[in-house]
Chains A and B, each alone.
Chain A
Amino acid sequence: MTIDPQLRDEMLATVPHLRAFAISLSGHVDKADDLVQDTLVRALTNIDQFRPGTCLQAWLFTILRNLFHTDYRKRRREVEDPDGLMASRLAVLPNQSGRLEFEELRAALAKLPTEQREALLLVTAEGFSYEEAAQITGTQLGTIKSRINRARTRLAELMNVDDPEDLGPDRLVRAVLHSPDLRR
């Protein structure tokens, strides 16, 4: 099984996106890298199933997303996590550790239900269309729209954003200083 140089380059260019998605989805950098590696192995060994001319990135995201959910369901059976404590453990990257402005968002993101988080990440962060996101997640268009809507509403609640003027850096620093529970 081989890939041509163009496909190789395209796949390589997608890796940072797969990683960013996997990190934001799983909340763990190590787990994310394993997930990306498994995704690439699955893709490379089944490359004959990829239809040239279709979106490679969407194909790879579909594989990663399905692997994540298989693994997630397995872990759910092994360890009960009623309070979402495991799910809310946060991934902190070395060069992000001191970044207060990401702390709050990361904590809020981790508290979203997985389905809402993945929909929001695919469309708002990664820039897939609603249609592509529906295909990747194997759901209906309306479901995707609804999940994104709920995700944003919940994020606004968790980050205490009800007034846009309220999202300035001052407020953010105050929030982090005075609300230790934000970092749980």
Chain B
Amino acid sequence: MTALSRGSTERPIVLQEAATDRSDPHRHLVPQLDPKVQALIGERLRLYYAELLTEPVPERLVDLIDRFAQSRKDRS
């Protein structure tokens, strides 16, 4: 499916391509960032985000979804 596990697949190299993409009308507006710095920023951000992802989901959100799933079970 989905982007659920995609967090780790994005690589800083992509941004380098983006920054040098000649079809991008905004390319000249931003100074080039050192690829190593880009990579480090990205890595730091993903670590921070990964930590957020491990947070337990509040019960009320699970209940909310299950109320909709439940009503189907009740009917059949």
Give chain A's interface residues, CB within 8 Å of chain B.
1-5, 8, 10-17, 19-20, 23-24, 33, 36-37, 40-41, 44, 47, 55-58, 93, 95-96, 99, 101-102, 105-106, 109, 120-121, 123-128, 130, 132, 142-143, 145-146, 148-150, 152-153, 155-156, 159, 161-162, 164, 167
Contact = CB atoms under 8 A, between A and B. Distances in A.
Contact of A2 (B1, B34, B68): B68
Contacts of A128: 3, 6
B71 to A, nearest CB: 5
Given A1-B68, A12-B65, A37-B60, A152 B38 contact: yes
B8 A19 contact: no
Interface residues of B, number: 56
Given A11-B65, A124-B42, A146-B24, 5 more contacts: A1-B71, A4-B72, A123-B10, A145-B18, A152-B42
25 contacts: A2-B69, A10-B2, A15-B65, A17-B3, A19-B55, A19-B61, A41-B64, A55-B3, A56-B2, A57-B3, A95-B55, A101-B44, A102-B48, A105-B45, A125-B48, A126-B6, A127-B8, A130-B18, A142-B24, A149-B26, A149-B30, A150-B29, A152-B15, A153-B33, A156-B37
A24 B61 CA distance: 18
Contacts of A102: 47-48, 51
B31 A164 contact: no
Contact of A164 (B26, B36, B48, B68): B36
Contacts, number: 172
Given A145-B24, A164-B34, A164-B36, A127 B10 contact: yes
B61 A58 contact: no
Interface in B1-26: 1-10, 14-15, 18-19, 21, 23-26
Contact of A40 (B25, B39, B41, B65): B65
A10 B44 contact: no
Question: Which 8 pairs across A and B sit closest by C-beta, in order of nearness?
Answer: A127-B6, A146-B26, A2-B72, A20-B52, A164-B36, A125-B49, A8-B69, A145-B18
